[in-house]
A and B are shown apart, each in its own frame.
Chain A
Amino acid sequence: MSKSRLFCFFILLLCLSNTSSALFQPPTTTETYLGKVEDFCPKKHINSWRQQQQIEGVDIAASPVCSPDNPYNIAAFVKGTNNVSMATLMNTHLAPDTLIKGKDLDGDGDPDEIHIRLEVLELNGFSPDLADPVTTYNIAPGIQPGFWTFVPKHRGMSNKSAETLVANPLIRLPSPAIRVEQGDKVFITLENSHYFPHTIHLHGVDHSFQTTKGEGNDGVPQTSNKLIMPGKQFTYEITPRQPGTMVYHCHVQAHTHIMMGLIGMFIVEENRANNWVQTFNVGNGFVRHSSKAVAKKYDREYDLQYQDIDRELHNIIQTANDSRLLAKAFNRDYNITERTPDYFILNGRSFPFTLRESLIIVKPEEKIKLRVFNAGDQLLALHTHGFKPTSTHLDGVELKPSARIQRDVFTLGPAQRVDLELYAHNDGLHNMGAGIWTFHDHNELGVTTDGIYPGGHISSIVFESFLGENGMPKLQGVDPTPFFTAEFYKKQYPVWTLSDDKKHYGDVFIATDESLPAEDSETTDETQMLILLAQIIVLIGTVILVKRNTGNSHEA
């Protein structure tokens, strides 16, 4: 081989060694810290509320979740605000005329004249005095879309107190599940305390087209009712002959008002003796005082309302104050045909807040009644891990035994309902044994919050043996701490962050107390030193060869 070729070869090797060292310099993973982490169960939730108890003669079942229903509310909702003591009423935000239960018309031991009063209130709305929304309600850490909701008429401030902007606990999503008894004479008065007009349509509930006074009773502005303007009230009258899981919702600009939250379950319970029903189930979820018919067949009962949310619609009320600007934005500017859902809620919350309120608690061999309602615009494909429930009613109409279906994914179109029987019988079909069994929408959008997983509708069926203190399930999966930060849902943390101690997957890593960065830099330096050494050897080799060549050229 010629000396010049050898010389070129060494120069090439030198160059290559220089270029190849530049390829091994990807950026290092930088350190960050978790932002404010919410407690799984904030201390404000009262332990004595979780116990089984009796208030004013009303039996209230135990509710071991983090955030149980106020038992005084339950007593007032069962007896009527006119039939409880002032002391009990003072333990609620209810007004004396929220729920008036009157005469026992059929003499079977329970009242059959029921007068319900509802208001419409706004959550996370605009203020011309503050940069942030007012009367706040979070569906997930840091997420506050605007909402409108039906609320039992009550008394006092819409905020929890004068020192906070957080909404009082009665004002929340979903619009509360309402229960009446088959055959009751029910008057539903809507006091429109909102700044837009609204109505109530009783979907699926047996009602005549007109009230006894000849006024419209269907709640539809195009055919039966004038708009109930702000400041006005209107009373609907029904005497439902048929039981079942039905619906009520606003029918003004239904495409936006329903989506904003003005939709809830309306349940007509089967007529039984001494059947004082729990007229409101605020926040849905566990029914702490079931009707006689349900309590006979089932050990527990849950109301589950699903909804999907388009952030663009719900932000409108956070952009302006003038009612004319808002009306135009809702009625003429917003285009539902371009709708994309971003958030998905079960009983008014997304994961992880669903774990505080919407756990389904169960013991082996129990039979649980689930009333499932799709109040959203997307198809719901409800899947239960560890169980295959059986449908018993579709849209509130009972199925004959031969028509009942047992499966693990139930699909519901918008406004459809299915009553399910969950049987904790460990035979591998009804149930696969005790555990923490997730239930969620298998429509993959539904398990995300603004595209981040886990989020959306996710909740769990938890056996009592797997339930810990303050209603926290004894989770044995990944550390859930990042899920309780607003930053996680703002996409600021790598999703696998707390599982990723080798830093394979994150652009940032959550620093812990153990030291990490020093070790890393040492390793990098080592490699670089070796490369540098190799470069030096090649250079020396080249110089020697060049000198030899020049030396040789002088030989004879």
Chain B
Amino acid sequence: MKHNKISTGTLVALGLSIQSLYAVAETGTDNITEVKDHSHISHNHSHAAKDKIAEGMCGSGMRMDLDGMVMHENIDNLPKDCKQISEEISIQVKAGVKYSEPYPGTVFGLDSHSWHAKPCARITIEFKNEDEIRHQWMLHGLPRYLYPGGMFHIEANGLTTKTGTFIVPSSHYTYLVHCDIAQHMEKGMKAQFVIGKGRKDLSSIPGLTEAKFADSYPNKSSTAISTFRSENIE
């Protein structure tokens, strides 16, 4: 008769995988841009009648006016894994076509594509839109029990500034930040917010990381386009 012995190694591996599953569940989707078309999933966040449009805009945690809106703001609700706020951070983020100039081939931009804070930080973003059209500063991957859909969203109309605050949990993570208007992220408005040590860098961030599906350029030696990447990365 054979006995099935569970080795110590297997137990450790099992324990670690359960741990990481828990962590992922807490922090939500790893990187929203990896989502394939799951159109059969309906993200129905409506509280009331079926008549309502579902998008997580339930009326709670949203303020909207003629300048724009802030959704899922969280000023003082501590994530359950934070004993206290570790630091207060205020960041001004400027958005607009003019910030795409250092990155040839992009059209829209941000004055910075990367920010950093400690775990359990309270972060206030002053989002200054210098274009005449609307733009967004949208962060993905927050815990869904605190932020519907795992998102914190600032939207500013042209030439307006909107400010919003959120608190991050204790995990070391790299959150996706982008403008979610069609093709704004792809054309330059992608960034990341690194909490603590962060995790893996996200792809296609101007000046920071490579694309997964990079463009191919003709006549690499003869035109100015050929040298753009090396000259213009900050």
A positions within 8 Å CB-CB of B? 44, 46, 48-49, 70, 72, 86, 90-93, 95-97, 119, 121-123, 125-132, 134-136, 153, 155-167, 171, 191-195, 229-233, 320-325
Contact = CB atoms under 8 A, between A and B. Distances in A.
B132 A70 contact: no
A165 B35 contact: yes
Contacts of A132: 36-37
B77 interface: no
A231 B96 contact: yes
A153 B134 contact: yes
| Contact count band on B | 35 or more
Most chain B CB neighbours (cut-off 10 Å) among A97, A157, A160: A157
B33 A130 contact: yes
Interface stretch (B9-17, B19-27, B117-125, B177-185): B177-185
Contact of A191 (B64, B134, B212): B134
A166 B211 contact: no
Q: List the 6 closest pairs (A to B, CB-CB), nearest first.
A: A128-B211, A322-B105, A161-B43, A231-B131, A231-B97, A158-B182
Nearest to B41: A163
Contact of B132 (A121, A136, A155, A232): A232
A180 B140 CA distance: 40
A157 B33 contact: no
B102 interface: no
B204 A195 contact: no
A323 B100 CA distance: 11
Contacts of B37: 132, 136, 164-166
B183 A125 contact: yes
Nearest to B29: A162
Contact of B51 (A46, A119, A163): A46
Contacts of B203: 128-129
Nearest to B35: A163
B234 interface: no
Interface string B198-227: 000001100000011111010000000100
B186 A321 contact: yes
Given A164-B37, A231-B97, A194 B183 contact: yes
A46 to B, nearest CB: 6
Contacts of B64: 86, 96, 155
Interface in B1-55: 29, 32-39, 41-43, 45, 50-55
B205 to A, nearest CB: 10
B50 A48 contact: yes
Nearest to B211: A128
5 contacts: A122-B183, A128-B186, A129-B203, A230-B107, A321-B215
Given A162-B150, A193-B181, A231 B35 contact: no
B158 interface: yes
A120 to B, nearest CB: 9
A127 B178 CA distance: 13
Contacts of B59: 90
Contacts of A95: 134, 157
A122 B36 CA distance: 18
Contacts of B175: none
Interface of B: 29, 32-39, 41-43, 45, 50-57, 59, 64-66, 68-69, 96-97, 104-108, 131-134, 136, 138, 140, 149-151, 153, 155, 157-158, 180-184, 186-187, 203-204, 211-215, 217, 225
A233 B225 contact: no
Interface centre among B34, B42, B54 (most CB of A within 10 A): B42
A48 B186 contact: no
Contacts of A93: 53, 55
Q: Which of B184, B187, B211 has the most CB of A within 10 A?
A: B187
Given A165-B37, A231-B97, A233-B158, A157 B50 contact: no
B128 to A, nearest CB: 14
B213 A130 contact: yes
A127 B54 contact: no
Contacts of B51: 46, 48-49, 72, 91
Nearest to A229: B97
A interface majority secondary structure: loop
A127 B213 contact: yes
Contacts of A193: 133-134, 181-182, 184
B155 A156 contact: yes
A192 B69 CA distance: 20
Contacts of B158: 191, 233
Contacts of B96: 231
Contacts of A86: 64
Most buried by A among B45, B108, B140, B203: B108
A231 B182 contact: no
Contact of B180 (A157, A163, A231): A157
A97 to B, nearest CB: 6
Nearest to A87: B59
Nearest to B31: A129
A162 B55 CA distance: 8
A444 B153 CA distance: 49
A128 B212 contact: yes
A164 B181 contact: no
A322 B215 contact: yes
A149 to B, nearest CB: 10
B212 to A, nearest CB: 5
Contacts of B213: 126-131, 321
Nearest to A138: B39
A161 B55 contact: yes
A233 B157 CA distance: 12
B11 to A, nearest CB: 35
B53 A155 contact: no
Contact of B52 (A91, A162, A164): A91
Contacts of A128: 186, 203-204, 211-215
Nearest to B71: A156
Contacts of B138: 157
Contacts of A135: 182-183
Contacts of A131: 213
Given A46-B50, A155-B155, A232 B133 contact: yes
